[in-house]
Amino acid sequence: MGEEEARSWIRGDETAKQMLSRVLKDRAFMLLPPLHRVPLRAGNVVEITGASPSAKTQILIQAAISCILPKTWNGIHYGGLGKLVLFLDLDCRFDVLRLSQMLKHRLLQANRLGNGAWWQLEESNVKSCKAAQEKSKTVFDEELYVSCMKRFLYVRCYDSLELLSSLKTLHYRIRQQEACGSQVGVLMIDSIGAFHWTDRLSSSLALETHNRKSLSLTNVVETIVQELKKLLQVHSLVVLATKATIYEEKYPALENNRKFSSNDDYSGNAAIKAQQPLIREFMPSSWQVIF
């Protein structure tokens, strides 16, 4: 009896080939323009950092559109993933008009490509664009537009408590959506460092409560990381997070007594003006190890 059990334990459940085919199917590579040079797989967490007006939300919107478009519809190839996008807006600055403008533009473009040959589009790009656009004013598919917009789910959080409560109920909501037949592709968090200062303040002003853990910065970030890890284990999705730098760029000549944790490739001559600005890392270490 024991021998039989030991043998089955050693024998293994599946061969390597079977396992690879299963993993590649479940957690396939996702190519989302504009990040199509970065091979993303389900379970990856990507952080996009930059100074304030640097189009981070624009990248998210573009990636969202590639995700919500279907692969083909009515014979026209759109090349999207057809999955849901969950957008957690912590910055509260999302403009749905921008999303709808870009989606309409994509649909029109794909329509023109589908109906005419693609080299005609190339030519019209070389010559005056206006004339070509006026000639081929195709009406895009209203039904498709509506179904795409419905695949974009959005919630905004005004402080850390709301963020945590949204994350905790996220798993349940994803299950609800999967029961309706749609799969979640990407979870986007706009500006993960949004509540950094308010959390720091509340951690320094925390009263002594004996039973409950106080809402300090490290606690909040740890809980966020925990919830994200749990989500990534259960569902196959990619997490895209943007982060705005909150410390100003300082040129290396002036900055001498603070620790750096990011790349800095200055040539060593402080008088040269065109230097890479240094980006200071301000998120606690529990966030930094999630990548």
Q: x/- string (CB under 8 A) for another protein, residues 120-159?
A: --------------------------x-xxxxxxxxxxxx
Contacts to another protein from residues 247-266, by CB under 8 A:
247-248, 251, 254
> Which CB atom, from 154 or from 266, has the smaller least distance to another protein?
154
Among the listed residues 197, 213, 260, 262, the single contact to another protein using CB under 8 A: 197
* Residues whose CB falls within 8 Å of the CB of residue 275, separated by 6 or more in sequence, listed in order: 251, 252, 266, 267
Q: Least CB distance from residue 224 to another protein, whole Å?
A: 15
- Interface with another protein (CB under 8 A), residue total 50
Q: Under DSSP, is residue 111 helix (H, G, I), strand (E, B) or coil? A: helix
Distance CA 218, CA 290 (A): 14
Which run of H or of E encompasses 190? Answer: strand 184-190
The 10 Å Cβ neighbour count of residue 111 is: 19
Among the listed residues 44, 198, 236, 286, the single contact to another protein using CB under 8 A: 198
Q: What is the DSSP letter of 87?
A: E
> Which CB atom, from 145 or from 290, has the smaller least distance to another protein?
145
Choose one: 11-19, 124-132, 136-144, 191-199; the region binding another protein (CB under 8 A).
191-199
Q: Which of 74, 68, 70, 48 is nearest to 59 (CA)?
A: 48
Which run of H or of E encompasses 231? Answer: helix 217-234
Q: Which residues bind another protein (CB under 8 A)?
A: 51-53, 86, 91-101, 146, 148-159, 162, 165-166, 168-169, 172-173, 191, 194-195, 197-198, 200-201, 204, 244-248, 251, 254
